[in-house]
Amino acid sequence: MGIVQTCSKHEIKSKFISSKEEGLYIEVPFIVPAGTEQIKVKMEVVQEGVASSIIDLGVKDQNRVRGWSGGARTEFFIHQAKATPGYLHGELEAGEWAVILGAYKVAAKGCTVNLTIEYTLEELRWLKGDLHTHSVHSDGTFTLREKASICEEVGLDFLGLTDHNAASQNEAYPRDVDTLFIPGMELTTNKGHLNLFGVNDPLQDFRVNTMDELHIVLKEARENGAYISLNHPNCRNTGWRWEWDFDYDWVEVWNGPWREDNQDALDWWQDQLVSGKRLVAVGGSDAHRPHPSVIHGMPTTWVYSKSLTSAEILKSIDQGHVVLSYSPKGPFLSLTCGISMTGDICEETNKAVMLNVKDVQYTDVVKVISNQGNEQEVMVEEGQDTLDLSWAVANRSFYRVEVWRYFPEVKSRLLAALSNPIYFSN
Ligand SMILES: [Zn+2]
Ligand SMILES: [Zn+2]
């Protein structure tokens, strides 16, 4: 969709290695700029003469050797959250690093090593993911690598691992794939489910039989640093049946395919917003196994984040910088007012609210909703694939947007996209 873009730049360094240097580890320094999210290094060995030279590859940061692949690889990447096997992911501290060239075997005429070093800088952009999924670590059938392949195929950047009352998935997920895994657990009780995000091992014991026990368990998760999301509160089978006075951050208003249970959750959320509660809405497929309609990325949660890391994505979700769409292909909504976006409290009441919806289809219905209910409804005309609307801020506590689409497969009009609200303090 051209929305996920990061700023990257690269430099090329050449180093001649003579036969006298055989056996040595040669350092080629480079500077990692502040705010780097990922570095990628590619090595090309240009042979001089007929005999071949063998050059090993590795890297050091300011303090330590950060990775080594010997003669096994000619390129590697290190990202804040993932890396090529043999290399350590983590913070990319700004300053002088060095590529390490191991001159294992050097021909009599020497060789020239060309290094391409690519830096990707942190930058706010929309990332797409699915926050609620299961694997073989609970009652799902997908391995974590299978899940990463599915994400790459459908175009998801991140995936929440929310196995039922399990934490082993958070110790087992691969860090050498494109997909970013967000550690999680679905706290699954007999009277309702909550997703705990952002820590590998949020709880010592999931068993909850009373409200008091629920409070104790959530306090432990909170002290461990977890964000807490109320899952499918209006699900006929596994909806929330505990009391409502408990500690949570977000609500999953969209669980899997759109259906009545989700509509009830959406209506409940609207009531919460009208009552003045600023509650972030999220979505998740709840995919467990191959299924015709419960599919990774349906719905997709879009998050405006400065890096593809759990910490930044979860922080941005907590700020409400989130929109939802029925699939990774959109439609995608952008709702702003002056410098404020969804989730923000806008102080610029003299500005207009601007709505842009991409990848809409003929007969889609775009609804603008406030604390006073439906404000306007616009049907997309033939030949239109984007829709722009703007309106003056009236005396409202929030505006939010829904896109509804007719799906001939199920002969119904279903939710296709949903924004979080942009709030006003008047
Ligand atoms: Zn559940
Ligand atoms: Zn679930």
Q: Please indicate, yes or no, whether residues 228 and 251 belong to a single structural domain of this protein.
A: yes
Select from 121, 145, 172 the last residue of a domain: 121
Task: Say if 219 falls within a structural domain.
Answer: yes
Q: What is the pLDDT of residue 82?
A: 96
d(CA 277, ligand 2 centre) in Å: 25
- Measured in Å, residue 268 CA sits from the centre of ligand 1 at 18
> Percent of the chain scored above 70 by pLDDT?
98
- 39, 119 contact by CB (below 8 A): yes
Pairing of strands 158-161, 125-133: parallel
Q: Which of 73, 92, 121 is the last residue of a domain?
A: 121
Ligand nearest to the CA of 194: 1
Distance from residue 100's CA to the centre of ligand 1 (Å) = 48
Question: For 161-213, what is each residue's pLDDT tens digit?
Answer: 999 999 999 999 999 999 999 999 999 999 999 999 999 999 999 999 999 99
pLDDT at residue 2 greater than cutoff 90: no
Tell me what pLDDT residue 6 has. 60
What is the distance between the terminal CA atoms of the chain, rounded to a whole angstrom?
A: 36
Contact 140, 133 (CB under 8 A): yes
Q: How far is the CA of 396 from the centre of ligand 2 (A)?
A: 35
Question: Ligand 1: distance of its center to the CA of 320 in Å?
Answer: 22
Residue 426 has pLDDT above 70, yes or no: no
The answer to whether residue 2 sits within a structural domain is no
The answer to whether residue 298 sits within a structural domain is: yes
CA-nearest of 127, 37, 126 to 89 is 37
Give residue 132 CA to ligand 1 midpoint distance, Å. Answer: 9
The number of the ligand nearest the C-alpha atom of 287 reads 2
Q: How far is the CA of 233 from the centre of ligand 1 (A)?
A: 9
| Mean pLDDT rounded to a whole number for the chain | 96
Tens of pLDDT, residue by residue over 342-390, are 999 999 888 999 999 999 999 999 999 999 999 999 999 999 999 999 9
Distance (Å) from CA 154 to ligand 1 centroid: 23
Distance CA 81, CA 91 (A): 8
| Domain CATH number, residue 281 | 3.20.20.140
408 CA distance to ligand 2 middle (Å)? 28
For residue 364, give both structure tokens. Answer: 């889609």
Ligand 2 centre from 284 Cα, in Å? 9
CATH of the domain at 49: 2.60.120.380
Question: Which range of residues forms the domain containing residue 48?
Answer: 7-121
Tell me the pLDDT tens digit for each residue of 133-168.
Answer: 999 999 999 999 999 999 999 999 999 999 999 999
Ligand 1 center to 187 CA (angstroms): 8
Residues 416, 355 share a domain:
yes
Residue 355 sits in the same domain as residue 293: no
Number of domains within the chain = 3
For the CA of 166, the nearest ligand:
2
In Å, how far are 14, 225, 297, 400, 406 from 214, measured between CA atoms? 60, 17, 30, 32, 41
- Judge if 116 and 133 occupy the same domain: no
Dihedral sign from CA coordinates of 315, 319, 320, 321: negative
CA 307 to chain centre: 9
Q: 209 C-alpha to center of ligand 1: Å?
A: 17
Same-domain pairing of 200 and 314? yes
Domain identity same for 200 and 115: no
Nearest Cα to Cα of residue 282 among 388, 184, 208, 169? 184
Q: How far is the CA of 133 from the centre of ligand 2 (A)?
A: 6
Does residue 384 fall inside a structural domain? yes
Residue 1 domain flag: no
